[in-house]
Each structure stands twice: as C-alpha cells, then as structure tokens.
Amino acid sequence: MASICMLLLLLLFLFCTSDVCSSVVSSSTDAVLIVVDHSGKGDYKTIQAAINAVNSNNSELVYISIKPGIYREKIVIPADKPFITLSGTAGTNTTITWNDGGDIFDSPTVSVMASDFVARYLTIQNEYGTKGKGIALRVSADRAAFYGCRILSYQDTLLDDYGRHYYYNCYIEGATDFICGNAASLFESCQLNSLAKNLGTITAQHRNSPSENTGFIFLGGKITGIDGGTVLGRPWGSFSRVIYARTYMSNAISPYGWHDWDDPSKERTVYYGEYMCYGPGANRSKRVRWSRELSRDESAPFLNKTIIGGRSWLRPIPTHFKTHVK
C-alpha cells in the first residue's frame, strides 16, 4: 500500500510540474484579489508587500490590482510563487521605477522568477540612463505574458532571459541590445523605439545551439526612432535567431539591417529573417547578405503562438474574485 501511495504522489508531482497542470490552473476564472494603493486605501501600500503575502508554493490565481501612481520599488516575484498577475489600469499611469545599473541579473527594476506570471498595463522603468547596463525587466521563468506594458531603459532594457514568453501591444524602448537573452518569445503588435543616435541595436539574442527552440519573433507592430542609427539585431549567441514579420520599419533602421558583433564566423550560423515587412527601413537592397528574406513557407512556423506553446498556458483575465485574507 505504501508503495502505491508513493507512486500516486510521484505522478501527482509530475502532473503539477507540467504544462497540463498549468493549463488546469490557468483555465480557472476565479482569483484571489489583492489591492495595492500607495495612498493606503488598499490591502498594501507597496507591490512587493503584496507579493510577499502570497503563500509559498502557491497553486491558485492571484490578481494584484495596482492603483495608479509611481511605485519606487525594486521588485522580485520569487520562483515559489507562480500564477501571479500584476495589473495596473493603464500603462501610462501606473509606474514601477528604480535606478540601478551594472550586473544584468542584479540591476532589474522587476525580476520575474516564477512561472505563469502575467503583467498588464504597467510601466516598468530603470532610470539608470546612458551610463551602462540598466535592466528594467528580467524574465527568468517559463510561461510569462505581458499586455499593454511600457518597458523603458537605455541599455539591456528587457532581459528576456529564458522560458516561453508572450508580449502583446507593448512599448519597449532603449538604445543598445535593448531586448536580450535566450527566451522563446513572441512580440505581437509591439512598438520598439530606439533612442540610439549612432549605432543602436534592438536585439541581442543568445541562442547557442541549433537544437535550442528559442528566438525572438516580432509579428506586426512597428519600429521607431532616430533616423538611420539602429540595426535589427546582433548575435549574443552563435546561433542567434530573430525574425521580423509584417513589421513597419521606419528610417531608424540602418540600410544594412544587421550586425555580426565583429565576429564574421557567426554570419554562417545565425538565423536572421524578415518577412513582408514594410516602411522605409524595410528596404532590403543593401541588407547584409547573411540575413534572409523569408518565403511564405519559411515564415509560417513563426507566425503564430506555436513556438511558445501559447495555447496551453495563456489565460484570460479572471472574472470572479475572492478577498485576500491577511
């Protein structure tokens, strides 16, 4: 009997660490509601205090509603607290900001370490400026989604570290490698704004092997910025993979489009593609020869949520709430 019980416990553990368990939890329309208001009219005055109040090894949806205002905090969502949503009311009136630089893993204003995380209608900002690396958002977890968020810094703005991620209708701003990491991420209908005056780089994707199913996919959306000073990407990893599809490219994009980071050997192994992009920056007549103009068939695997397995874990906004008990 004891051995049967142990087997059942093992199966339950395996089930609840899989996408299946994520799908079961995320399909729920009920969530625990926690209200953050810096004026003192909510459950907590700070966002981190609300996150700290979530039980370790959490297994239910927690919806943290953040009232408008500027929250000067450095926030961590720890790995043992999955299924948390942070939601403002509009990306322009609910801001999380900090001022830190240096190490890319220590400087982020917001660090997401827990799976099944959602952020809605927030500005996430690092005010470190042009002095060096200052990460606004670090995402080091699987199954994370961001809707209507503004992510702002200068260098390494978004450390899209690892896991499967979805960004929808977000505004991401920076100058140097401002989307970097080795996640498998779909950026749909997002605006990328370059602050670079000379050589700027939007992406530094870190795929190290052709067997890794990672890469940055930009579907729809637009690229804006100062004329002629920015490339679409450069390879942090030897097998860096970035695709832009149906994206408007302004004159911010340099005619040659991509950079090899002064390592010509990577030109043979990177996968940099464009498909049906348009605008003055999308002219491929002077593109580097090692980038690709994708055909319809070549682009097809990247034009949906398959690369992130989104159908199994992207979840709707909860419709029923229960009160958080302190």
Closest Cα partner for 19 from 312, 308, 304, 307?
Answer: 312
The whole-angstrom separation of Cα 253 and Cα 132 is 22
Query: Is 156 among the catalytic positions?
Result: yes
Range 84-98 burial, b when 16+ CB lie within 10 A, else e: bbbbbeebeebbbbb
The whole-angstrom separation of Cα 202 and Cα 207 is 16
Q: Which of 43, 160, 161, 177 is catalytic?
A: 177
Contact between 80 and 106 under an 8 Å Cβ cutoff? The reply is no
SS (H, E, C) the chain: CHHHHHHHHHHHHHHHCCHHHHHHHHCCCEEEEEEECCCCCCCECCHHHHHHCCCCCCCCCEEEEECCEEEECCEEECCCCCCEEEECCCCCCEEEEECCCCCCCCCCCEEECCCCEEEECCEEEECCHHHCECCCEEEECCCEEEECCEEECCECCEEEEECEEEEECCEEEECECCEEECCEEEEECCEEEECCCCCEEEEEECCCCCCCCCEEEEECCEEEECCCCEEEEEECCCCCEEEEECCEECCCECCCCECCCCCHHHHHCCEEEEECCECHHHCCCCCCCCCEECCHHHHHHHCCHHHHCHHHCCCCCCCEEEECCC
Q: Which of 43, 116, 156, 161 is catalytic?
A: 156
Number of neighbouring beta carbons within 10 Å of residue 203: 29
- Tell me which residues are annotated as active site: 156, 177
